[in-house]
Structures are given as structure tokens and as C-alpha cells.
A and B are shown apart, each in its own frame.
Chain A
Amino acid sequence: MTQMTVNDRPVRFDMDPQTPLLWALRDAANLTGSKYGCGVGDCGACMVLVDGEALRSCLITLAEAEGRFITTIEGLSEDRSHPVQQAMVAEQAIQCGFCTPGIVMAAAALIQRNPDPSEADVREAVPNLCRCGVYPRLVRAIQRAGRVARRRERISAAPAPGIDMEDAARAVPALRADSAE
């Protein structure tokens, strides 16, 4: 069995070691945030962090991932508080949202090593495909995420889970005892 750390938890996959990490995450670990878009490393929808580097999980086998630290979109932050997550919502750089997790992971890796990226830096570090064409907003969103990472700005566009849109609606009057679900 192949062992690795996924979102800070030790995981052993009882699967063919040649299984692409993407399909192990999706079909076995129930981590469906990483998306299948092309299967050949072209679109970037399956990007995850492997030892901190944004890589395409459709191209990495379980065998190659052995012993690595994998972070998926589900593990990027507990509470949606990562600057890139907040900035993507704040700039409305989302249409259908299918490519978004891969873009968030690529951008998170970029901000980690360069929190003040130029437009050219963003274009190079985020080669992901967005069929809907949110590109004009992506550069803005990622640079804004960098400003948040550098503590130049704060955003609270997407509330933490427990107070997401649906939950927040319940949480506001909630200081009343009868409102608990």
C-alpha cells in the first residue's frame, strides 16, 4: 500500500501504484475538489501541492507520491481563509468554477514564493485553462491575494464554513436559542 500525507493526515491507498494521484484522491479518498479536465497535464484543473509545489495530480502516480506531503483544495485552509480563496471570491474570478480549485492551488504556490507577483509572473505561474474566460479577473485576484498575504489589505468575501451564505443566514439571528438547526 502506498503511504503519503494528505491534508496533514497519514493515508494509505490500497490501489494499483500506477493509479494517477488524481483518481486516488477523487474515487478513493472522496476528495473531489481536484478536477479531471484533460488527463494529460494540460488544463491544470487537477493541481495539488506536492511538498509545497503546484503539480498536476493527473500526471503523478501513487508510487511517485509515496512519502510526499499532498495538499488539496480541501486542505488549503480549514476555513476558506487563504488569501487566494478570499480574493477569488472578492474579484468574482469565477464563472462555472470547475477550473477554480486548480487555479487556487497554482496561485497559492505562487503567492507562497512570491507574494508580490507582476502580471507576467501570474501568467507564467498560472497556466491553467479557464473555458469560461475569467482571465481578466485572475491577475487582479491573485495580485490582491498577494497584498493580503503581505498584510497590505484584508478581505472577508467568503465567510468561514459554519457561516457560509446558507449558514450565515441562520447565524445572524442565531444568538437566539431557538435558531439552532
Chain B
Amino acid sequence: MNRGPVLGRRAFLKASAAAGGGLALAVTVPMGASAMASGGPAELNAFITINPDNTITIIGKNPEIGQGIKTMLPMLIAEELDADWDQVSIQQGDTDAAKYGPQLAGGSFATPMNWFPMRQTGAAGRQMLLAAAALRWGVDTSELTTEPSVVVHAASGRRATYGELAGEAATVPVPELAGVPLKDAADFRIIGTPIGGIDSPKIVRGEPIFGVDTQLPGMVYAAYERAPVFGSKLISADTEAAKAEPGVIDAFTVAGNGNPTELVDGVAVIASNWWLANKARAKLNVQWDNGDWTNHNSAKYDADARELMANATAAEVFNEKGDVDAAFANAAQVVDAEYHYPFLAHVPMEPMNCTALMHEDGTMEMWAPSQTPQGGQGAVAGYLGLTPDKVKVHITRMGGGFGRRLNNDYMVQVAAIAKQMPGTPVQLIWSREDDVRTDFYRPSGWHRLRAALDENGKLAGIQDHFVTWDIGGGAFNPAVMPANEFPAPYLDHVRYGMTKMPTAVPMGALRAPTSNAIAFTFQSFLDEVAHAAGKDLPTLMLEIVEGAEAEPDTMGFTGPTPGFNPQRLRNVTNKVMEMSGWGQPVAEGHALGYGYYFSHQGYFAEVVEVSLNERKQIQVHNVWAAGDVGSHIINPYGALNQVEGSIIDGLGQAMQLAVEIEGGAVKQSNFHNYRLPRMPMTPQIHVEWVKSDYSPTGLGEPALPPVIPALTNALFALTGTRIRDLPIDTSKFA
């Protein structure tokens, strides 16, 4: 459990800034209001335009990857603007840090970062409309109220629609955002209302709204051949045979820039449709220098890691507290176990793609499905030697992200190709095989965990030797864990250390980075500890934090961040026990397991009900989830969708997903051997919210981590077999 500001978040900030993201600590809202023309649309600020017909256009600034943000952020603006939601239309903002502030889909950051700024933006617009009405009627603004999209002067019975006032409102002084009054929560009309995805009607009609649907006149299609082996370099390529293929327009080598998150060596093939471009790759004759990297494989990694855990001490201790050796020497009982989880790929449904047009004047225009379009803009500008303002980046809807699109390698690739073809729009598409084999993988990892129990069965100390990866510095490092990982802060004797192994496998953030692996490891191990002490895991968890109080607030990436509050752990644990009937008899042949995790400022406790069928296959019947993400569930539709999706995602990871390295390359290639969950795996999912006084936080991630240990702990309860390796090997259930 991450407590307070986590390692990952700071590293993430650093990474984003380094990538040219220009992330500011607060949303800036330039308030240069201007009535476009008399009687025309009036722009109250960068986010709000009111039209004379009383419709309102609100900008959704963040990239939409299916998390519902294009609907949710405008809800916050509309709420405080007191807009009539039925007359609101939403437009995706282009990439523009100066105009919109940070534009980022990652880290479940959007809710905490925007809860106040977006509401203040809407409230400022409302103040301008009130001021316009006050001027028009010669009354004081304090006499005015609003109904949805209407200003009302109750004393005189006068009313004016926002559309009628907009032209004047755009000319009044712009209020200071920080001081603008916000609604009392009891007056919310939009926040807390289930609102469907704003693009859903377009989606069911197949309208071209995804990045890969971009069509431009004269557009050509590109495929990109890179070395299958990570870390290898291009020696030479014979492109003549590929160029001779029908429909192929060109083929040429592209030199990498030394940064795998931007551009690796490769060969581009350009054709009149993508199928032809991709097919012609088979005719390329490319020589790669693989160095020693072909010796790398998953079996060797595993053997090396287990050797380190068995016989070595951690190379780097990152949390040492108390007298660990004495605590273990004096222990009445020691629990000692090794855990392992594999590399994972992201595989969003929409393969990596980007469309680019190098204009004749040397500026670049791009249509980019990116979770970090500002970072991509910076990376492309850096590669081309342009200033970011010369790279116009349109943000498209994305067919999923899951963290894959935090890296913008496909943007730099297509820029490198389009640079060679000024005036011609180029759409780069990766095949699914490219996607599976050219990812920034969730790091695999190994942990040797040891717990000391005293004579009363109380957890006295814990040690972890974490074997992980040396993946260089600078970028976001997902191959680490927080020094204060639970239960360290509540124990007297702690030693957490790690040893790093060399690799060229690229790694990155997968939905709930670090947490998606650490939750499984620590919550499964603590379940072992609980059993050793003759109690269940919820009891142990509540015991560990018994009497503990909330940590002090800190300054985090998203602003003032509340410290970890054990009461919220207690609340979600008690709630999920009540929901699932924990401790009561279950159906014959079924068992329950509990898992809990705190990540991305969200507290989730989950219980899984499981059985095995006659072929020893895992059947997940029910999942109960209790979550505390603060005072409000802004859009209950989106929130529930995120929790359900996270749970199914986690179950898939636990039951059947692994990326393996063979000969320095990824063995898996497509959905037949990277088997995502399908409909028959879906359990009944029951979600309840525990509200607390904290400002709301995000839901893209925190419901995922606890479901994995909840499942493995349920399987232990059912079979007596402890799952210490993912994905779960069902042949162990004899």
C-alpha cells in the first residue's frame, strides 16, 4: 500500500517533465474573454463558449481513452456554470499547454487535479453572466440567482438566458479563479448524476472518431519494421524487393535517436493501403546487430533471480528500521516465501498509430492517440529540431490506453517518416504483433518475503528482498516499490532491499503501475502470515493499523495530498465483509478470499468467491468491491464502468496473462497466446461506495490491484495450495 506521496508519482512527474510535457502544478485557465462578433458565439474563457441560441460548447481538455474523462471534466465546468446539460456540447481540445494546462490521461490524476480548477472555471463563467445581467438590469449581482442556463432576478421576475447575456458577459472583467465562489454540494445538479459517455451515440454508428480513423486527402499508409530483439541496432537493409511490391510507394531506413521511448532503428514501408505496406515487410532484407541480447530469456531471468533470493542479500537496502536480525532471531515463528509475477503487455484494442503531415513550411501537424499528447508534442519537436508550437497535435479518441500510450514512440516514428515526405499525410499503423512485441512492459519481479511472529502470534517484523531491473534512470521507473510499503510504517522492525538485474526489455506503466504487482505479493504474503497466526487477513489488517491515525497531509503532484488514513482502510474492509457475508457459510465447493490495496489515493477492499470446475478450471462467481475515493462519485456511470473493468482486467492478469522473453525477443504475438479475458470469465460484480470527507480522487486504477490477491487468497482457502507465482498454474490444484 502506498502511503502519502508515492515514489511512482514523483518519478512520473519527473518523467513527464523530462519528456517535454511541461506539466504545471495547477491548471492554468487563461481568461481572455472575447465576444467573437456581435450576435455570434461568445467565448467566456478557454473552456466555455456560449452561443446565441443558448447552447454551450465546453472543451474537454484531457485525452479520452475510454475512462470517460471527455464527459466528466465538462460536467464539473457545467455544474458550476449552472448550465443546462441538455444544451451542452463537448469538444475535444487540441494539445495546448498554455491554453488548457496539463492534458494527461494517466495515474488516475485527472479527478484530483481538476476537481477544483474545472469547477472554478465554470464558476468564473457564471460570475461573468451574473455581472452582465446586473449591468443590463441595473441591479446588484447579489440579487441574482441562476437556474440551468438562465439568470433570474427574483425581485422583479426578470429572466435572461445565458445565450442572451453571453455577448455582454464576454466583455466584463474576468474574476480571479481562486476567489470565485463555488456551489454548496447540496446544490449540485450534475455532479453525482449518471451521465452516459458523450461519444457513445457516435461510437454505435461507427463514426470516425478514433486516431486510426483519421482520413486525409492523399494520405498514404506506413508500417515500421524494427528489430525483434530488444537492444539491437540496424546494420543495413535492402529495400529493393519491398519497393517492387505492388502498391508500395517507398521504403527506407530510419535511424533511432538512442531513446527507445522515442525512436528505435527501423525500416519504414509506405504503400497505398496499410495491408500492402505491412505485407511488403516480408520482402525486406534487414541485418540487425543483436549483440549479446539474444542470450536473454525468461527462464534464465527466473533462475538468476531465485539464486539471488536464496543466497544473496539485497544489494541496496531502501528501508531499514529497528533491529531486524534480533527480531527474527527471537521470533516464535517465521514465515518465508518467494513470490513472482511476469512481464505484462498493455494491448489496448486500438493498435498504436498516428497520422502526420509535414507541411511545406516545415511545421508538423499530427492526429495523435496519446495519453500524454503534450509529451508527444515535445518529443516530436525535439526530434525535428522545432519548437513545440510548430508541432500541432490534435487529440483523438483512443481505443484504450492502460498506460501504453504514456510513451509516444509511434508519434516520433511517424514524424520521422512524414519528414521524408513533405506535403503527404502519412498514417502509421502497427500490427497487433508489433504491439505485443514492442511494448513498454509491466516489469516482472521477484520477492523473498519473511515475517517474524512473536509468541502471541503478533507480526513483529518484515523483510523483503526484491529482485528487479536496472532500466536506467531518468524515465518513469515502474520497476521499483515504495519504501513505505504497507505494513512497514506500522511495524518496529523492517528491512526492504532490492537487487537489480540487467536487461534491454523496455518497461513502463501498466494500469496501477507497481501496485498491480505489489498488491498481489504483499496481500498474498500477509494472508500467509494471518493463517500462520490462526486468523484471517481482514482481522490481521485491522490489527496492524489498530489505534493508528491519519498521516499528515503532504504536497503531491496533484496539489495538497491527504496522508494515508487507516480509518478509510477500516471502513472499506468492514463494508466489503458486510457485503460479501464474510465469515458466514458459503456454497459447497466455494470459498472466499479478501484483498485490499491503497493506490492512486483510492482505498479498495475486495472479496472474491471462487470454485473449481471438474477440469480444475477457476470459476469466479462473485466479486464484491468497497471503495472510498472521497466525497463524491462525479459520474456514477463512468465510475462503475471503471471498477468493473479494473476487476475483469485484474482477474485476466492473475489467471492467464504473461509475456515471456526468448532469444531476447517477446514470444507472444497476438490474442491467441496473450489471452485477454472474454465474456464467459465475467463474474457478478457488486460495487459499493464508502463516502468520506476528502476531495474526490480518480478511478482508472485503484480497483484493480486488490482483486488479484483476493482471488489467490480465495484459491488457498478453497484448495490449500498457495499461489506464489502469476499467472496461476491450475495444474497445481491436484
Any B CB within 8 A of the CB of A64: no
Would you list which residues of chain B between 636 and 669 have a CB under 8 Å from chain A? 637, 641, 644-649
A86 to B200 alpha-carbon distance, docked (Å)? 10
A-B pairs with beta carbons under 8 Å apart, 10 shown: A34-B206, A37-B350, A40-B672, A42-B670, A42-B671, A98-B350, A127-B679, A129-B676, A169-B56, A170-B53
A101 to B402 alpha-carbon distance, docked (Å)? 21
Stretch at the interface among B86-94, B228-236, B514-522, B593-601: B86-94
A171 to B212 alpha-carbon distance, docked (Å)? 31
Please provide the 6 A-B residue pairs with the shortest distance between their CB atoms, ordered closest to farther.
A33-B206, A98-B399, A96-B66, A133-B648, A73-B206, A97-B203
A93 to B86 alpha-carbon distance, docked (Å)? 21
Since A28-B273, A134-B641, A169-B86 are in contact, a sample of 14 more A-B pairs with Cβ atoms closer than 8 Å, ordered by chain A residue number, is A23-B273, A30-B215, A32-B215, A33-B205, A33-B207, A42-B670, A94-B204, A96-B65, A97-B199, A129-B678, A133-B644, A135-B681, A157-B196, A164-B201
A169 to B221 alpha-carbon distance, docked (Å)? 37
Assess whether B274 is in contact with A23, with CB atoms less than 8 Å apart.
yes
Any B CB within 8 A of the CB of A54: no
Any A CB within 8 A of the CB of B246: yes
Assess whether B349 is in contact with A165, with CB atoms less than 8 Å apart.
no
Any B CB within 8 A of the CB of A116: no
A139 to B680 alpha-carbon distance, docked (Å)? 11
A122 to B678 alpha-carbon distance, docked (Å)? 12
Contacts of A143 on B, CB cut-off 8 Å?
none
Assess whether B275 is in contact with A20, with CB atoms less than 8 Å apart.
yes
Assess whether A45 is in contact with B349, with CB atoms less than 8 Å apart.
yes
Assess whether A158 is in contact with B349, with CB atoms less than 8 Å apart.
no
Assess whether B206 is in contact with A169, with CB atoms less than 8 Å apart.
no
Assess whether A98 is in contact with B679, with CB atoms less than 8 Å apart.
no
Assess whether B432 is in contact with A38, with CB atoms less than 8 Å apart.
yes
Please tell me which one of the listed residues A30, A31, A89, A127 contacts residue B196 in the complex, with CB atoms under 8 A apart.
A89
**In the complex, how many angstroms separate the beta carbon of A24 from the nearest chain B beta carbon?**
8
Any A CB within 8 A of the CB of B538: no
Assess whether B212 is in contact with A158, with CB atoms less than 8 Å apart.
no
Would you list which residues of chain A between 148 and 181 have a CB under 8 Å from chain B? 157-159, 161, 164-166, 168-170, 172-174, 176, 178-179
Any A CB within 8 A of the CB of B144: no
A135 to B651 alpha-carbon distance, docked (Å)? 13
Any B CB within 8 A of the CB of A126: yes
- The interface bits of chain B over 256-298 (1 if a CB of A lies within 8 angstroms of the residue's CB, else 0) are 0000000000000000111110000000000000000000000
On whether A173 and B351 interact (CB within 8 A), knowing A95-B66, A164-B201, the answer reads no
- The interface bits of chain B over 380-406 (1 if a CB of A lies within 8 angstroms of the residue's CB, else 0) are 000000000000000001111110000
On whether A92 and B196 interact (CB within 8 A), knowing A33-B207, A129-B671, A133-B644, the answer reads yes
Which of B198, B201, B221, B678 has the most chain A CB within a 10 Å cutoff? B201
Contacts of B197 on A, CB cut-off 8 Å?
92, 94-95, 97
On whether A135 and B199 interact (CB within 8 A), knowing A88-B204, A169-B88, the answer reads no
On whether A101 and B55 interact (CB within 8 A), knowing A96-B349, A126-B679, A164-B201, the answer reads no
- The interface bits of chain A over 124-140 (1 if a CB of B lies within 8 angstroms of the residue's CB, else 0) are 00110111111111110
Please tell me which one of the listed residues A32, A94, A168 contacts residue B200 in the complex, with CB atoms under 8 A apart.
A94
**Chain A contact surface mostly:** loop
Assess whether B348 is in contact with A42, with CB atoms less than 8 Å apart.
no
Would you list which residues of chain A between 94 and 113 have a CB under 8 Å from chain B? 94-101, 104
Chain A residue nearest in CB terms to B68: A95
Any B CB within 8 A of the CB of A53: no
Contacts of B212 on A, CB cut-off 8 Å?
32, 35-36
A136 to B651 alpha-carbon distance, docked (Å)? 14
**In the complex, how many angstroms separate the beta carbon of B403 from the nearest chain A beta carbon?**
13
Chain A residue nearest in CB terms to B347: A131
Any A CB within 8 A of the CB of B677: yes
On whether A95 and B273 interact (CB within 8 A), knowing A136-B682, A169-B55, A176-B53, the answer reads no
Any B CB within 8 A of the CB of A9: no
Assess whether A134 is in contact with B274, with CB atoms less than 8 Å apart.
no
**In the complex, how many angstroms separate the beta carbon of B54 from the nearest chain A beta carbon?**
6
Assess whether A179 is in contact with B670, with CB atoms less than 8 Å apart.
no
Contacts of A6 on B, CB cut-off 8 Å?
none
Chain A residues within CB distance 8 Å of chain B: 15-16, 19-20, 23-24, 26-28, 30-40, 42-43, 45, 72-74, 80, 84-86, 88-89, 92, 94-101, 104, 122-123, 126-127, 129-139, 157-159, 161, 164-166, 168-170, 172-174, 176, 178-179
Assess whether A165 is in contact with B348, with CB atoms less than 8 Å apart.
no
Contacts of B246 on A, CB cut-off 8 Å?
16
Assess whether B200 is in contact with A178, with CB atoms less than 8 Å apart.
no
Chain A residue nearest in CB terms to B247: A16
Assess whether B273 is in contact with A98, with CB atoms less than 8 Å apart.
no
Please tell me which one of the listed residues B200, B206, B221 contacts residue A27 in the complex, with CB atoms under 8 A apart.
B221
Contacts of B397 on A, CB cut-off 8 Å?
96-97
Contacts of A72 on B, CB cut-off 8 Å?
206
Assess whether B205 is in contact with A165, with CB atoms less than 8 Å apart.
no
On whether A178 and B205 interact (CB within 8 A), knowing A45-B349, A136-B682, A157-B196, the answer reads no
Range, interface on chain B: 35 or more
Would you list which residues of chain B between 324 and 361 have a CB under 8 Å from chain A? 347-351
Contacts of A139 on B, CB cut-off 8 Å?
679
**In the complex, how many angstroms separate the beta carbon of A81 from the nearest chain B beta carbon?**
10
Assess whether A27 is in contact with B275, with CB atoms less than 8 Å apart.
yes
Which of A72, A130, A164 has the most chain B CB within a 10 Å cutoff? A130
Any A CB within 8 A of the CB of B19: no
Assess whether A16 is in contact with B349, with CB atoms less than 8 Å apart.
no
**In the complex, how many angstroms separate the beta carbon of B258 from the nearest chain A beta carbon?**
31
Assess whether B206 is in contact with A131, with CB atoms less than 8 Å apart.
no
On whether A35 and B399 interact (CB within 8 A), knowing A97-B203, A172-B86, the answer reads yes
**In the complex, how many angstroms separate the beta carbon of B585 from the nearest chain A beta carbon?**
26
On whether A101 and B206 interact (CB within 8 A), knowing A16-B247, A42-B671, the answer reads yes
Chain A residue nearest in CB terms to B672: A42
Assess whether A38 is in contact with B671, with CB atoms less than 8 Å apart.
yes
**In the complex, how many angstroms separate the beta carbon of B119 from the nearest chain A beta carbon?**
22
Chain A residue nearest in CB terms to B214: A32
Chain A residue nearest in CB terms to B272: A27
Assess whether A80 is in contact with B201, with CB atoms less than 8 Å apart.
yes
Any A CB within 8 A of the CB of B254: no
Which of B206, B402, B670, B681 has the most chain A CB within a 10 Å cutoff? B206
Assess whether A133 is in contact with B399, with CB atoms less than 8 Å apart.
no
Any A CB within 8 A of the CB of B210: yes
Please tell me which one of the listed residues B67, B203, B670, B676 contacts residue A131 in the complex, with CB atoms under 8 A apart.
B676
Assess whether A95 is in contact with B275, with CB atoms less than 8 Å apart.
no
A127 to B201 alpha-carbon distance, docked (Å)? 23
Chain B residue nearest in CB terms to A85: B204
Any A CB within 8 A of the CB of B213: yes
Any A CB within 8 A of the CB of B141: no
Contacts of A26 on B, CB cut-off 8 Å?
274
A35 to B349 alpha-carbon distance, docked (Å)? 9
A178 to B349 alpha-carbon distance, docked (Å)? 43
